[in-house]
Chains A and B, each alone.
Chain A
Amino acid sequence: MTGRRSAEEIGSTPTGPRALPPLGPQRSVPAPEEVDTVLGSGLRVVAVRRPDVPMVELRLRVPFADTSGRDDSAHAAVAEVLATTILSGTSSRSRVGIDDDLAGVGGEIGFSVDPERLSVSGHALADGLDTLLDVLADLVLAATHPDDELARERERLVERIELASAQPSVIARRALQERRYGAHPVTREMPRPEEVTAVTADAVRSLQASALLPGGSVLVLVGDLDPADAVARVEKALAGWSGGRAAPLPALPELRARDLLLVDRPGAVQSQLRLSAPAVGRTDPRYPALQLANLALGGYFSSRLVENLREDKGYTYHASSSLELDPHGAVLAVETDVASEVTGPALLEARYELGRLAVVPPTEDEVESARRYLVGSLLISMTTQAGYASTVAALAAHGLSSSWVREHPARLEAVTTDEVAAAATEFFAPTRFTGVVVADAARTGPGLHALGGVEIP
């Protein structure tokens, strides 16, 4: 090629910079047809017609908390084994039979459990809804947890936990939960291998019988369906499911401000910074303003944390601030992973941005950008059957309905810059935070010690 261009020549044209086009008109969409009802068993069923593709999405959320009140409770391990072995067979279907029946209607079903609930996610071709519901009912009512399958799954689960426990993000999450909540059941997100090994088949069967209950649970169906008809099919398929109310998560201990705890991970080439502070949940009048302030700090790419830590300093690939919601409220979580050698500097910058948000509040432009992003990304997240189903299930699990999300854009539009500033000051002051730093202590300890506010064991 003759006369190759320089970088400077590439970056300019004879016309010069051009003006950004304005936004056009935005079409709004009517709410989809929906039935939201509670069956006699206490199971809440939400069915939504979204016929975009010939599929149906299923979400079931069963409150599944440990209510034993014991520090040595086996609940988390038993629940984890239950979620793993429930697909091993029922009184009428083998493990392969379950999968074959689902595959025949393009279906899949998965179980997972956390300290708050047992979650089922599934989907199938729309004309396979009855099969999907039939398999779900069979699993909920007649899973057998066969001894031999359970013994094997227990071993696999131990191996998977060992795999996961080697992930820095998992190490950091566990350390953060314990720093925030001590021994509260909410910290038991992943049982220890020795706890899993001790789980018996009887304990699993007994937990399924006593805790997998319809009362207070919610089943969501979204897809190419008739909502009233879908509810009728659910009622028929799950007619045998009864027995009382499932156990909701007890209120969490109040987060209190503390030094960050340095957790040693010898040889690590990257450090995990995790900071957390109390916040408020969806039903609090300050929530929309808090959301906007959170976005301005680190809730999306165009935020102070990302622009500072990544785009200015090059310390990290990602930095974020988010709201973790539970049935009783919410907490703020600020996180970033940075190279070991800049661990101290990155913590300094993170604290600086927290302090700056509290005292130099988001500008009108920052608030408007955050607002447009929240309204738009909410719209985008609801455009798929799967996204719609997950959103409605998350809301319903916390006692809200789809109207909350439809009305939320109006709440966001109503927030003033002053209200965002007030939320920023109230919630983001660095002195309100606790947290952990997972890092190679030998390399990062001296810098963190010099910076202060870090407990170095």
Chain B
Amino acid sequence: MTSSVTAPARGLHRRVLDNGLRVLLVPDAAAPVVGIAVHVDVGFRSEPEGRTGFAHLFEHLMFQGSESLEKLAHFRHVQSSGGVFNGSTHQDYTNYFEVLPSAALERALFLEADRLRAPRLTHENLRNQVDVVKEEIRLNVLNRPYGGFPWILLPPVLYDTYPNAHNGYGDFTDLEQASLDDAAAFFDAYYAPGNAVLTVVGDLDPDETAALVDKHFGDIPARAVPTRPSFAEPPPDGERRESVVDANAPLPALALGHRLPDPHADLPGYLAHAVLASLLTDGEAARLTQRLVYGDELVTDVSASCGLMGAPLDARDPDTFTVTAVYPGTVDPQRIIGAVDDELATLAADGPDPDELRRVTARWASSLHREHDRLMSRMLALGSAELVQGRAELADELPGLIAAVEPSAVAAAAGSLRPDQRAVLTVTPGGAA
């Protein structure tokens, strides 16, 4: 099985343009399609106080036209070339991307370059996109059960500082106050070419593609690259508890939040937490699933995650390990928390069984193979690994790194999730809806 654990080696060509733009070219001739992604080094942790949700709102504005492209033209050109597009805003980065038939490679580079060079920021588009974002928030948060659970609701319990604690989707009042000047200042501050990574993956020739990248991105003037602030804050000095009411929720839920190790300083320690999350809740045989769902029958569903947004290595330090559970109203949440602590203590004392660890490793390898089979996923993993972790190769090396995690490291990870340094959030059904 070891042969399946290492991702296939494929060429990765890295260069930096004179304006500071970092470029990754990754040929992959498996299918006649290409993907291009721009990862910008700004996420919702960097948005100003009083402007919650601005990084995401700005992501929407970047689709609203640029010097050579009227409003709606970006969408039309991508789709009428047979492609698909999207963008997303994370804690530490914002990405913009499209996947298209390979015939559209130069066109896609042109589209991305045009908005990185000169986006068309207008008052009308700003107001329109504030309305659209508010509908997005109603759809994903306000009008549904467990909206924003736990990614919006847990951080203010675990963290003290504004960057880490605030709601990255934004308060409606803040969104409504966003101005065109805010947008211009945000673009100038963060969307400098030197603050971004361009990733091009697929059926391409590296030399020809490098020339096309130069042609379209090369004349974007260099601008000052912002100094990245540290978002570090001390771990909580005790257990912190909060409770919220969810009018749409039919059953109560709880989330435990713990701090993760800094992946830059301690990558093996961080990855041990990723393995730990799998041991706890991936599959029917996972420890918390067996204990809480089938053994004690305390919960309807339980899930552990290494990373607030669901994927490991998606953010810089500090990031969050979460355990979430939905449970019947008759269950005392303290019993669930007690059972989680029990299972963690057992793992900390005895470590995982080697066979158990091998099964988790095989599942990781297989899920990464599947992810990398999808060009869009591999491209986004490479781009974010380059930007956030400083090494695109990490995306391809992950199966091997996960396979190398020792039982003792998993035991140490389990032991590090201490009850006196965590956040506990409970969601109570409001029964209004």
Contact = CB atoms under 8 A, between A and B. Distances in A.
A and B: bona fide binding partners:
yes
Contacts of A372: 79-82
A108 B300 CA distance: 20
Contacts of B88: none
A10 B118 contact: yes
B80 A373 contact: yes
B238 interface: no
A18 B114 contact: yes
B184 A317 contact: no
Nearest to A379: B101
A309 to B, nearest CB: 10
Given A7-B184, A168-B144, A301-B75, A159 B101 contact: no
A314 B128 contact: yes
A212 B288 CA distance: 32
B79 A373 contact: yes
Contacts of B120: 11
B103 A52 contact: no
A310 interface: yes
Interface in A82-107: 87, 95-96, 98-100, 102-107
Contact of B181 (A1, A7, A15, A103): A7
Interface stretch (A123-131, A225-233, A276-284): A123-131
B84 A4 contact: no
Given A125-B365, A384-B374, A267 B433 contact: yes
Interface stretch (A24-32, A63-71, A347-355): A24-32
Contacts of B185: 4
A167 B145 CA distance: 7
Nearest to A152: B297
A159 B298 CA distance: 12
B330 to A, nearest CB: 11
Contact of A269 (B4, B128, B143, B375): B143
B107 interface: yes
Interface string B74-99: 01110111111100000000000001
B375 A156 contact: no
Contact of B373 (A124, A301, A369, A385): A385
B366 A123 contact: yes
A19 B432 CA distance: 55
B283 A103 contact: yes
A312 interface: yes
A324 B31 CA distance: 28
A20 B135 contact: no
B344 interface: no
B72 A311 contact: yes
Contacts of A15: 219
B164 interface: no
A127 B1 contact: yes
Interface in B60-76: 66-68, 71-72, 75-76
Interface of B: 1, 3-4, 8, 30-33, 66-68, 71-72, 75-77, 79-85, 99-107, 110, 114, 117-122, 127-136, 138-139, 142-145, 180-181, 183-185, 187-189, 203, 219, 224, 247-251, 283-285, 290, 293-294, 297, 300-301, 326, 328, 355, 358-360, 362-367, 369-370, 372-375, 432-433
Given A18-B67, A270-B138, A314-B132, 4 more contacts: A103-B283, A156-B300, A311-B71, A380-B84
